Amino acid sequence: MMKISRRNMMQMMGAAAFAGPLASATRAFAGRAKELNILCWEGYNSAEVLDPFRSSHAANVKAESLTNDPTMINRLRAGETKIWDLINVNNPWARKVMAPAGLIKPLPRAEFEPYFDTMLPDFKAPYRWAMSDNGEDLLGMAQRFGPYSFVVNTDKVSKTTAEEQGWDLFNDTALAGRYGIQESDDWNVFNIFLIAGINPFKEHTEEEFKAFSETAEKVFKGARMVGDMASLNQALVSGEIDLYMTGGTYSVSPARADGYPNLRAITPLTGPIDGKGGISWIEITSTVNNPDLSPLAIEFLKYVQDPEVAHTVAFAEGTFNPVSQMGNPKCFELFTKDELEAIQWDSLEEDMARSAEYDIVPDYDKALELMTAARRLRG
């Protein structure tokens, strides 16, 4: 009788891998068990977040950061579901696009819904943006979030004035040459609709597109600069500009943490989206419908729910943000007074209440084309 040892068991498994009907499955398990690929917004790809997971699982974890949701999703559509295990994008895409297109897989509700019970009150299960349209499938986990409208230097434009005047600040000819625009196609489309007094998240008439186009031309011509968030924050600090769009906690928190609390994300008191003046975002991380999904994908989603890891995610390299896990006292108590000040915890609840949640613009392509044409007029 053959004695089964770990050595000959491994030999048998090796032979089966090349000879039997389970050959491909065995090769897949062996190939992906210590490998994880993440497509995400910046922060989740930082060494502070990834290195402890790499070490504890002896895993090869790769993460690529992009700054545009549709581009990330288009990569899955182009066949990269075979590459990625996790995708981290803003709230509407899992429910409205990726799940219907079969690009992501549902999570086991019994394993993951208890995590929502420890999150901040607005994220309790069943959390709308984490669920399929029919309410049956859990499509991802919520973590970072925040309001995102515009940023001012409160030494130049007071918080009260900015909140009361809202998007009309960018219609004020007196501020021409005193503001900047962040390079962000989708968010700038949202903002230009709002400056024109139009709800971005609906089908638009020709008359509304005419107003959008005229507003885009005026806003881009009046901007002193168009750049990334670091250059815009620096321009606020130096006094080159007084405010910029698009912006919010995500963009201005690093500058606030560096000692500039006078720079502040603003959410207007009112606006054209059912009366709401701002827009907020919530990141949802989902498992990709990879035919050879790494078992580490599920483990990583659980790993980032840990209070200490969630705090690290909040203050990951590059940008600082609130996280849904702050509803857990063990997570919240890790935030120092200065960290809470950096992420504007004092007004977070009212800012979110004034914000409509990020959504999809049904006629986005036409709006983007008009906005791109307007930007070209800057020369």
**Statement to judge: residues 63 and 205 lie in one domain:** no
86 pLDDT exceeds 80?
Answer: yes
Number of domains within the chain? 2
For residue 26, being part of any structural domain is answered with: no
Backbone φ, ψ for residue 19 (5° rounding): -115, -30
**Statement to judge: residues 199 and 252 lie in one domain:** yes
pLDDT digits (tens, 9 = 90+) for 221-254: 999 999 999 999 999 999 999 999 999 999 999 9
**Statement to judge: residues 126 and 261 lie in one domain:** no
For residue 335, being part of any structural domain is answered with: yes
**Statement to judge: residues 153 and 263 lie in one domain:** yes
362 pLDDT exceeds 60?
Answer: yes
Taking the chain, what is the end-to-end CA distance rounded to the nearest angstrom?
83
Q: Before 126, cis peptide (omega within 30)?
A: yes
The Cα–Cα gap between 3 and 16 comes to: 18
Which CATH number covers residue 90? 3.40.190.10
Domain that holds residue 105: 35-145+281-352
Spatial contact of 70 and 46, defined as CB atoms under 8 Å apart: no
163 pLDDT exceeds 70?
Answer: yes
For residue 109, being part of any structural domain is answered with: yes
**Statement to judge: residues 237 and 371 lie in one domain:** yes
pLDDT digits (tens, 9 = 90+) for 34-48: 999 999 998 889 999
What secondary structure does DSSP assign to 80-118, as a single string?
GGGT-SEEEEETHHIIIIITTTT-EE-B-HHHHHHHHTT
